[in-house]
Amino acid sequence: MDKLDLNKLPRHVGIIMDGNGRWATGKGLIRTSGHKAGATTLKNIFKTCVNLKIPVLTIYAFSTENWKRPKTEVTFLMSLFSSFLAAQIDELCENNVRLKFIGKIDELPAKLVKEFRRAEEITRNNTGIQFNVAVNYGGRDEIITAVKNIAQQVKDGSLSVEQIDDKIFEDNLYTQNLPPVDLMIRTSGDMRLSNFLLWQSAYAEFWFTKTNWPDFTPEEFIEALIDFQHRDRRFGGLDNK
């Protein structure tokens, strides 16, 4: 295998952590066992990102559509978010990580919202990797919210229609001031975005694997990074060959 070039790493990696339920079902376990195993995988992949000094990592933890899942599973996931955060917050601070939760956070259980906001405040001044956790997140909803915010600014007179451009729009997204997604990874075989970071992934490179998320290893993550480094990224232009 080719070696990883530390000078050509993506600035922003997005991960759709799919396959927890399939992993559990395949082993004859209940679905929540898959989510527990997936949390361990997340910790390992996140450590790899920290070690490689990848500037931004954004994970898809819970979509606006995931509320359709069985109530017991949703309740378990909310509890898992809380326990995982409590267990990892000190280590996040030790690694100089800045944590941010993106999505309709205020619609989550009040106790969880308080825990999320406290973690964001604790890590607010850290200067290392930016770790975004998308919870109750939908890409279309994010875009609609941005449009409404911009429309309100125009209505208030603080912004003119002529001033609206990419920068103005991006300033009204959850990922304000962050680079666009360079590499999007999805596990478990499905090849779609599933309403995740639609604007931010306009020129992202995609890397799909049939591996279920609990079995996704740092070695496979590095394989994805190496593959990314071999992509010819022209952003709509022509190469220089």
Q: Please identify every residue annotated as catalytic.
A: 18, 66
Rounded Cα gap, residues 34 and 27, in angstroms: 9
> How large is the greatest C-alpha to C-alpha distance in the chain, in angstroms?
59
Distance CA 139, CA 208 (A): 19
Strands 130-137 and 56-63: parallel
Backbone φ, ψ for residue 171 (5° rounding): -65, -15
Tokens standing for 200? Answer: 């931010």
Q: Please, what sign has the CA dihedral across residues 80, 207, 170, 164?
A: negative
